Each structure stands twice: as structure tokens, then as C-alpha cells.
Amino acid sequence: MIDSVSPIRFDWTRPEIDALFQRPLLDLVYDAATVHRQYFVAGEVQLSTLLSIKTGACPEDCKYCPQSGHYHTELVREPLLDLDTVEREAKAAKALGATRFCMGAAWKNPPAKDFPKVLAMVQTVKALGMESCMTLGMLTSEQADALADAGLDYYNHNLDTSPEFYGEIITTRTYQDRLETLGAVRDAGMKVCCGGILGMGETVSDRAGLIWQLATQNPHPESVPINLLVAVPGTPLAELAQIDPLDMVRAVAITRLTMPSSYVRLSAGREDMDEGIQALCFMAGANSIFYGERLLTTENPSVARDRALLGKLGLSSEVLTSA
């Protein structure tokens, strides 16, 4: 039982994280719920909307991703969106209650010819009074500085899994490449959005390894998305069986316990999660969701469905006080 405010630690050991994965689930959920209420207003959920601003033909070989040019999926490739379209989508997301607008491009790294357009997108979203987030692949320090100067609040760059399992999923960039991009984002003064994916064939030890990597960053990522694999036909992971949904609850609880002040976001895979599992995830410390019918290229629960769920659980959407 937790009797006082849990300190924010950056010195978690791998055995400590491994031990958390062996604890009784309901004990974890109880402790995570307690910690959550020490750092956040109970019942508030942050809403983010995610838009694919450039779709498909990515040179990376991430085995979970339908946007990879290495695999044959039914995905329709699309060029970089124009600024008017991005502004229209951001306004629509804000009108529905989203406070953060996230933009993703299927690149290994942003090409020089398109980078000025990306900077203009950041400025457009900021002018609407929303938080902005982008995921564009690897960044140089110069690119990170330019994004920060344009007003970008968050940069998303997931570690995906543990260092030990990473090579089974991706070969076109290294774990160290990802860590260096995160370092460039931090040095530029932006907030970090960084998490991973469950259900790619990893072991429980790999899940512990991912959380250990995140929980020993100083500072912790301000936003930690926890994704459940969406097995897309045509990708190498298409035939994997779904994991036990309670594994998602456990991962959320351990993320909350080890990173008390971070937003923990239920991300990809919610379309396949029933209301009971999502409720347990919120109890275990999740306080952010992707909101809107699409997540880049995969389905997400409808706005009406999410509003109904939040209403049933007595949750409310967080208001961006700085807007």
C-alpha cells in the first residue's frame, strides 16, 4: 500500500521492472491508481487526434507497419498533404474536443524539400491554440531546432520494444539511431512522446526491457503511448494471435508506477479492446487517448463511441488551459 507521494525516479533497475511484471494484477492496478491521483486530476483524459500527412512508401522495414514500402498491403500511397487540408483537419479535431493535434509522415527522415512545409504545418496548428506533435522519423539536431523554433510542442519517436527484440522487428535503423533522435529532441527543448507496441511476438522480459528504457530516461517522456499491435494483412506480423488483453492493463499500470508524471496514452489497437479492458486501463493510470476515426492508416473507435464510453465511466476530457 502506498501511503505518501511516490517520488519520480530515474534509477529503476531491470530486476525491479521484471519484478513488477510478476506482481498480482489487481495489486498493480490499485497502486497505479493511487500514484495516478497523486500527479493528475482523477477522471480527466487528454484527447489527441492523429493525422497522416504523408502516407506510404516508407523505406523502413518495420514489420508491423502497412506504410512500409517493403510489404504489399492495400494501403494507398499519398503525397504530403497541403497546408489548407491540415488546417481544416486540425480545426475539425479541435471542434470535437481534441487538445493536441499530431501529424505523422511515412519517412525515414524528413526530406529537405518538404521540411519548410512541415514547419508551416506546425505554425498553423499552434495558431489554432492547440498543442502540436509530429512524428517524421529520425531528426538531425538542426531539424529538431527548426521544429522547436516553429513552436512544436511534442515530438513522437517510439522505441517500439526492448533493445534485445528490436532487431527482430526492424533492421533499417538501429535502437541507437532512435535514442539519438530522442536526444536531439530534448536538446532542442521539445517534449518527448515515446512508447512502444505490445503483441509483436515479444516476451514479458522484452516488455520489461522497453519500460526500463523509458523509465530511466531523465526526464521521462512527457507522453508515453502504449500501442496494441494491429495485425495488418500483407505485413510480416499479420498472422500473429492477439495477446491477452489483461497484458495491456498490466503494461499500463507498470508504466504509470515507473513514470508517475507522464501522460500514458491508449493508442493503436483500441478498436479491438472492449469497454471493460479500457476501463481497467483508465483505472491503472491511462489518461490520454487518440481520438477520431483514424490513426494514420488503421481504424480507431468513433468519436460517438468514445464519448459514450467516457460518459459511462464518468471521465471528462482535459481542457487545454493555455489555449
Catalytic residue list contains 281? no
Catalytic residue list contains 270? no
Distance of alpha carbon 43 from the chain centroid: 20
What HEC string does 155-173 produce? EECCCECCHHHHCCCCCCC
Out of 9, 14, 37, 62, the active site residue is 62
Q: Residue 72 is which amino acid? A: H
What number of other Cβ atoms are within 10 A of residue 276's Cβ? 10
Catalytic residue list contains 194? no
Task: Say if CB 151 and CB 132 are below 8 A apart.
Answer: yes
Q: Is 211 helix (H, G, I), strand (E, B) or coil?
A: helix
Out of 100, 173, 178, 193, the active site residue is 193
Out of 58, 100, 178, 250, the active site residue is 58
Task: Say if CB 227 and CB 271 are below 8 A apart.
Answer: no
Q: Is 253 helix (H, G, I), strand (E, B) or coil?
A: helix
Out of 133, 173, 207, 250, the active site residue is 133
Out of 178, 250, 265, 270, the active site residue is 265
Q: Which three cell numbers stand for residue 141?
A: 539536431
Out of 102, 173, 178, 256, the active site residue is 102
Q: H or E element: which one contains 100?
A: strand 100-105
So which residues are the catalytic ones?
58, 62, 65, 102, 133, 193, 265
